[in-house]
Structure 1
Amino acid sequence: MSLSELSTCTTILVGKNASYDGSTLIARNEDTGTAADPKKFVVVKPENQPHEYKAKMSQFSITLPDNPLRYTAIPNAVDKQGIWGEAGINSANVAMSATETITTNERILGADPLTKAGVGEEDLLTVTLPYIHSAREGVERVGEILKTHGTYESNGIIFSDANEIWYMETAGGHHWVAQRIPDDAYVVAPNQTGIQEVNFADSTNFMFADDLQTFVEENHLNLGDHFNFREIFGSHSQLDHHYNTPRAWYAQRYFNRAASQDKTPMSDDLPFITHADHKITIEDIKFVLSSHYQDTPYDPFALGATKETAPYRPIGINRTQELSVLQIRPNVPTERAAIQWVALSANPFNTLVPFFTNVNDTPASYRDTTAVVDSKNAYWANRLIAVLAADHFQAMISDVESYQEKTLGYGHQRVHEIDTANAQLSDAALTDALTTANEKTADHIMAQTSELLSEVIGTAGNLVPGTFTRDNY
């Protein structure tokens, strides 16, 4: 498997004034090259963080700083291709999601080639998240790594804390720009270079490689009269029109319908920074990152759908391995502010589960994912449901949607219950209590998921070819 096949994701970022409760929200589907690539949800304690790090899929290696922070991550259950930590929140309440694989163009790759000894998605969370205390520090750390080591791929990297969200895009082997997402805005990033106008005089909202302007000028890369990062560094290929832009189109259509009426799935001019017509909720993010163009002519699950009627890559795809919605909440003590909402396997058929991140460990059903199928693992139970339900979508979607509604409601209930029950705790006592509370949450969700799996197996068993009853004659 090539490096470029390993992750093809969709990202949603929601500023604190655009979210339902004042939280910063960053979310990303981790989509890989195969339908089954099992993931686990873990806590990495400082004593378990490597000091000398070496990648498995590239020639990248680095000596890491002392005194790492504790952090959560969703690495591969089988590490033969490396860690791939993907998404987590550290003990300073800084969240990171890495990475959104993006595209660039040939002239950029010629001027600043990718480097085999550079950092990549396999490495980025592990070598960054334990060492930062703000979203801005995350950009600064990755910028230094890119300057020293370069990268072997083009990626979007996301950081958030209680106040800010930063989206960082690499271009070529060593160049990059990062933009602070406005507090009242949201962003959808679908495997394309997204950042548009860069204001080099505005250090509050933009960061960039030291030599970015000089690099562009010396290599004659800017074909316009202003510095539009997407236009200079991005791509506008036929693949983009079928694989990337339709996802941004559908998401923007959902969040602000009136403003998107003149756009199509192939529109090249969809804005990067956008504003919703309502406050954005956890459920909104889950719906969009599970979507398959429902209520449009392009839904692959619609009755009679063919490759001709559904020519666009859905957002909710069978190759999704996990979704993390990383929430840093306001107006609660910092020790309880951070929640990682986790969904495993294909999003049209799974649910989001809230896990407090100030914990010593994660629930076994989410932590101990096996290399082979085991329905006691949250990943594999959801993968089995997805495989069966996708083949009998119309027959099973009612049961799936009922499960999703009940479990998401339970998730919000649990956040309220846990906040209330632990309002007087702090320090180690609170960490222990949140660890135990997460276990209870996971146990309930696993029981509900097992019930759905039983229903799905029963329905699918009655629909297989060769089914024969006395009614057949």
Structure 2
Amino acid sequence: MFSSKHSSCTTILVGKKASYDGSTIIARNEDAGDAINPKKFVVVEPEDQPREYHAKLTKFTVKLPDNPLRYTSVPDAVADKGVWGEAGINSHNVAMSATETITTNARVMGADPFEKDGLGEEDLLTITLPYINSAREGVQRVGKLLEKYGTYESNGILFSDVNEIWYMETAGGHHWVAQRIPDDAYVIAPNQTGIQEIDFDDPDSFMYSKDLRKFAQEHHLNPTSHFNFRKIFGSDTQLDHRYNTPRAWYGQRYFDPESVKDKTPMSNDLPFICHANRKITLEDIKFVLGSHYQDTPYDPFAPGVDYKTVPYRPIGINRNQELSILQLRPGLPSTYSAIQWLAFGSNPFNTLTPFYTNVVNTPDCYRDTTGTFDSHNAYWANRMISLIAANHYQEVMQDVEDYQLKEMAYAHERVNKIDSMMADKEASGSHVVRALGQANARTADHIMTATEALLTTLVIKTSQDVPGSFNREHY
């Protein structure tokens, strides 16, 4: 089995009746195994999509359909280990994020071993997103690929369109299940198998590999009287209790404190499908996906705390590489209803930039990331900010929070202005695409300028009192 280098993500899904504006929203932190894993934001045109896909880390190869759609992607800037496209929206306004690495158990792996040359996170967005017309089709395509080629890891995969959200989880090498998220619900998935009771007689809410029930029965995998996917195919280990479960606990605590008042960060019975005590906003999602257990005893940035002694793994950590919040908005023309809200670097210290996805290119400061540090590049500037801020948290967080508030307000203002501009235009086809591309560039330029200004402020402020400083007035 190959171990994914992107192995510690956190996912939030928000149904259209649970969100603040009726959008379907899917979001996921991409967390790498190391602090530095440069990312870029690109558009893949049909002519640039491969017709035969070859993985870099395994021998997996697949022939692809000849009619791909255009789509956005957030691949690795250095492609020597594969694409790792992670998150995007295609030209039919179907969104996908892949993958949320999840857990399984020894009985499952013994009954359906992983395929060492199967598909995995490296491959999934590239071989799926250009070929689907709905969230449901995304599940169906990946399901067929899993059953034919298998996988070398356990993963959760997110799909959405303007009407539905589906969350798919793999089980062993070839089995899987997917659940439609109720419109009035939200989900937090923290690297654990999450889906619970499966209703095999409800095809509107569940899809699964054709032999799933028989497979579990033949291999004596089900310890319960029901078909609880988490109990059968997931894990319940000490690592889960400290690394995974606390993230779900904190997110559920944020969205409705009453729902977890009798729970602890190590509770192993937190629900998969949840309901908030209010409508969920983009700011809520960003806060949770950048959170580090604020206002609890487990915050590694609290004054006087040694971060090495904090018992639970936070959500917002230095290994966050990018966050994509994929928003599909109702009641607007499909030409400009889809937005990919993107943040690079560590989420406690960055901000979101809204990119309309019906475009043929992305701004160069987000697109042209390389493996070499460049303060004029969005990934690298945010990476440096997070390095400084983490080491001088109490000193600089007021500057960071002021930046985040101001630039998020600007982002909302831009979306309102661009929507109004597009509604006033009688443009179609390439005219819309060009106008949205120009609008994205202006948005990115503004936020990049603000980000560089914050970086300058933090460098100046934190350079005054470091080892090796000398002020003659002190002597």
Fold match, TM over 0.5? yes
Alignment partner, residue 386 of structure 2: 386
Alignment partner, residue 96 of structure 1: 96
Q: Is it true that 1:86 corresponds to 2:86 in the alignment?
A: yes
Alignment partner, residue 234 of structure 2: 234
Alignment partner, residue 402 of structure 1: 402
* Native 8 Å contact 1:3 1:57 kept in 2: no
Alignment partner, residue 355 of structure 2: 355
Alignment partner, residue 287 of structure 1: 287
Alignment partner, residue 9 of structure 1: 9
Q: Identity of counterpart residues, as a percentage?
A: 66
Cα distance in 1 between the residues matched to 2:181 and 2:75: 27
Q: Is it true that 1:40 corresponds to 2:51 in the alignment?
A: no
- 1:48 shift after superposition: 0.1
SS in 1 for 2:4: helix
* Native 8 Å contact 1:298 1:309 kept in 2: no
Cα distance in 2 between the residues matched to 1:419 and 1:237: 48
Of the three residues 446, 461, 464, the one matched with 2:463 is 461
TM-score normalised to structure 1 length: 0.99
Residues 70-113 of structure 1, C-alpha deviations (whole Å, 9 max, x = no match): 00000000000000000000000000000000000000000000
SS in 2 for 1:83: coil
* Native 8 Å contact 2:55 2:82 kept in 1: yes
* Native 8 Å contact 1:39 1:369 kept in 2: yes
SS in 1 for 2:200: coil
Give the RMSD, CA atoms, in angstroms.
1.0
Cα distance in 1 between the residues matched to 2:327 and 2:387: 29
Within 5 Å, give how 1:287-366 maps onto structure 2.
287-307=287-307, 310-366=310-366
- 1:310 shift after superposition: 1.5
Residues 274-316 of structure 1, C-alpha deviations (whole Å, 9 max, x = no match): 0000100000000000000010000000011125752110000
Cα distance in 2 between the residues matched to 1:122 and 1:253: 33
Cα distance in 1 between the residues matched to 2:428 and 2:35: 42
Cα distance in 2 between the residues matched to 1:16 and 1:10: 20
Cα distance in 2 between the residues matched to 1:139 and 1:220: 26
Alignment partner, residue 473 of structure 2: 471
- 1:463 shift after superposition: 2.6
One-letter amino acid of the counterpart of residue 222, structure 1: N
- 1:2 shift after superposition: 5.7
SS in 1 for 2:27: strand
Alignment partner, residue 193 of structure 1: 193
SS in 1 for 2:30: strand
Cα distance in 2 between the residues matched to 1:46 and 1:176: 29
Cα distance in 2 between the residues matched to 1:225 and 1:422: 55
Alignment partner, residue 426 of structure 1: 428
Cα distance in 2 between the residues matched to 1:246 and 1:379: 28
Cα distance in 1 between the residues matched to 2:59 and 2:256: 44
Alignment partner, residue 60 of structure 2: 60
One-letter amino acid of the counterpart of residue 291, structure 1: S
SS in 2 for 1:221: coil
One-letter amino acid of the counterpart of residue 305, structure 2: A
Alignment partner, residue 106 of structure 2: 106
One-letter amino acid of the counterpart of residue 349, structure 1: F
Alignment partner, residue 442 of structure 2: 440
SS in 2 for 1:347: coil
Residues 419-471 of structure 1, C-alpha deviations (whole Å, 9 max, x = no match): 11121222110000000000000000000001000011011211311222133
- 1:360 shift after superposition: 1.0
CA shift in 2, pair 1:388/1:366, >3 Å: same
Question: Which 5+ residue runs of structure 2 have no aligned equivalent?
Answer: none
Length, aligned pairs only: 473
One-letter amino acid of the counterpart of residue 332, structure 1: L
Alignment partner, residue 260 of structure 2: 260
Cα distance in 2 between the residues matched to 1:145 and 1:8: 24
Cα distance in 1 between the residues matched to 2:222 and 2:200: 15
* Native 8 Å contact 1:297 1:309 kept in 2: no
Question: Which 5+ residue runs of structure 1 have no aligned equivalent?
Answer: none
- 1:399 shift after superposition: 0.2
- 1:140 shift after superposition: 0.2
One-letter amino acid of the counterpart of residue 86, structure 1: E
Alignment partner, residue 125 of structure 1: 125
TM-score normalised to structure 2 length: 0.98
CA shift in 2, pair 1:132/1:399, >3 Å: same
Cα distance in 1 between the residues matched to 2:307 and 2:86: 31
